Chains A and B, each alone.
Chain A
Amino acid sequence: MNLKISRKRFAFTLPEITLALAVSGVVFGATLTSSTSLQKSFNALDSYFGTHMQQIRIVDYLSRDVKRGLIVTTSADLQTVTITIPNYIIQAGDPEALVNPTLVGTPRTPTMAYTPSGWQVNYGNTTSTVVYSISGMSILRTENGTVTTIASSTDQLVPQTTDVELTNTEYAKTSITFQPIFTSGGAQASRSGTIVYSTAYLRNKRRG
């Protein structure tokens, strides 16, 4: 009898269950909210740094090509950059390759030409053209028609490049921003706070 009575006494009463459910609800609600917030924060952080890495990549691509460039031209909206670079490596179809196909993929020996503006070092009779442009959410690098996506993000990456010509050289100033996930009421500072600057000088004498 005592045992039966004891078992019955161990059962939860309705108020107990209600209270337990309420407390559990609060706890699980808090946990869920916290987890969601944590996940959102993590996602925003991940996106921020991931996009930042892409900013660095764009800058590094541009700097590499500007340094070895001969001419740099930016579009009026500052979002397309065209760089003329020497043809250092012999490609299939080049005059040297037609004469000797084994030269394909080898460095070209430069030739010197005396021009009205002085001596000029040329790698082949032609040059290559590299174009940086924006296509949708992607930043494209196009070299002689071959397209490479160098950055791709839903964070609205916006590179802007200014080309400044000096007497014999020029430099390209690039700034890249993106729209982070977390913003403060859509304030402009949310985007401008992500800006990365870069300045790259031509190593060669400017030709254009």
Chain B
Amino acid sequence: MRSRRLAEEGNVLICALCTILIISLIGANVLRNCTTRYNVSSSQVRSWKESLFAAEAGGDIGYAEVRKTVLDPPHAFTGWDNSGAKHVSPVTTFGANNLITSTVVDLFYNDPAGNPWYRSRSRGTAPVLGMARTGMDDRMGAGVRGDSLLRKIDFKTDHFLATYGPNGDGAGQALVPVTNPQITRRIEQISAPITPFEAAIKAAGTFYGLGSAAYIDSYRSSAGPYDPNVRNNPTDPRYVDSQSGTVEINSSVATVQGSIYGNLYTNGGTVTKKTASVSGVIDNNVPFSLNPLEMPSTATWNYVPTPTAVTGNTVIDPPVVGGVPQPGTASSPNYYLISYFVNNGNLTVNPAVINGTPKDTYVVLSVTGDIGNSTSSQPTINVPAYVHLKIYFTGNFQTKAENIVNTSGYSGNLQLYAISPTDPSLQQTINLNSGGGSNAGFSAVFYAPSANFTINGAPDITGAIVCKNFYANGNVHWHYDRRLDSEGAAIDYRIASYVEDIR
């Protein structure tokens, strides 16, 4: 009897073991499969995405430093390894998952306006947690890889350094082991300067104007002289350039009169096609900000000691070195410090003439105080052909419109910059009067982010204005030159290009 019971117990045990084995095999298979899925979805996919977040964070860090070159020059690239035009960031570790990023920024191009363009190459690394296994290649069939073509995981060594070198140019290849599995992604961004004159009128505060019969249109001086008939003739090949007389107002307080052959943007306004004559887009939700203007760095400029003031008739001729007049360049202009500009001063800047041929001549004046300080003031500025004049002034500006004489044929050749007062209680002003009913105008651009800008009368204006509050009560004819959208000193930067090095 005992032996029979033993045999029966053994049979049950074998059955139980077999059952456990089968269930365990199924369980193990399920577990292995789930773990693989989890490993891919939770670890590898996540790390792949996070490494891009890290790289883009590095790009943002580099972009912030690039912006400082305009907005806060003394602190640009502070704490970075700076060597000439190349800046290398410290390595930053951040986030709960210990993401790592670093960026190299280099100045690689100066545009015709003399503004630098920066290229930033950022790398972001995210650790790959979980099992050090490749992903879903088995799903793709023999000889066809899936995930590993997309998500390049460094399990043992950094494949990019080993194959392409640290700069990706094939130089300096090295087999560098990684501490833990990781994914690294690399992006390249180009920071392009934002120039001040991208619209005909840009007002950070309130806006009133122009007259009821006024209009703002545009043209492109590089495509031919201004023609008042183009804006109403869609068959004209230059028509496309005539509809960019854009007005941007960072306020809901705007009284818009006249015709705008371009777009109109406000910040919270209620302008509609029924309340204003606007040929382009009306968008009442376009906020923007203007930063106070500081005197830019003069490090690369060619300082010329005289003259030091504009009194009476003052003529500035280019400095002569070795018997040759020096015209300067956009990035290294001739630079003069003017301690005062008398109310009725008459300034003329002449081009360099070499062997009887006038040359493009670049001049910058830094004026301390006002250029005209009362309605009786009539300072005059003369800019002949071949002269590119920029005037920075710290006070107010007051004159008659016809006293701004720019005969160079391009409004961008006379640029006036109002340095923002350091005392915020001081209100800077720029007043232009036609005077005596004259509708003679001027050709120039103003960048005055802290100044109230007033135009009385109905001058004919070619150019652009950036100001705080804007007021004009006359039937002004305003022509924005589209060539201006790349003119002037950079006031900020924007990302103009984005590529990823997917190797």
Contact = CB atoms under 8 A, between A and B. Distances in A.
Q: Does A pair with B?
A: yes
Interface of A: 10, 35, 38, 42, 45-46, 49-50, 52-54, 56-57, 60-61, 64, 67-68, 85-86, 88-89, 102, 105-107, 109-110, 112, 114, 116, 118-119, 121, 123, 148-153, 203-205
B423 interface: no
7 contacts: A35-B22, A42-B29, A53-B37, A88-B499, A107-B168, A116-B220, A151-B140
A149 B485 contact: no
Interface of B: 4, 22, 26, 29-30, 33-34, 37, 40-41, 45, 48-49, 108-109, 111, 117, 119, 135-136, 139-141, 144, 146-147, 149-151, 164, 167-170, 188, 190, 192, 220, 240-241, 482, 485-486, 495-503
Nearest to A59: B45
Contacts of A148: 149
A151 B146 contact: yes
A205 B496 contact: yes
Contacts, number: 110
Nearest to B23: A38
A107 B498 contact: no
Given A35-B22, A53-B40, A149-B144, 19 more contacts: A42-B26, A45-B30, A46-B33, A50-B136, A53-B135, A54-B146, A61-B150, A64-B502, A86-B499, A88-B188, A89-B501, A105-B164, A107-B167, A107-B169, A116-B240, A119-B111, A119-B192, A150-B150, A152-B140
B498 A42 contact: no
Contacts of A53: 37, 40-41, 135-136, 139, 147
Contacts of A110: 119, 190, 497
B463 to A, nearest CB: 19
B190 A106 contact: no
B29 to A, nearest CB: 7
B42 to A, nearest CB: 11
Contact of A109 (B29, B108, B151, B502): B108
B136 A54 contact: yes
Contacts of B49: 60
A105 B503 CA distance: 10
A121 B190 contact: yes
A118 B495 contact: no
Contacts of B496: 119, 121, 205
A139 to B, nearest CB: 10
Contacts of A109: 108
A10 B169 CA distance: 87
B499 A64 contact: no
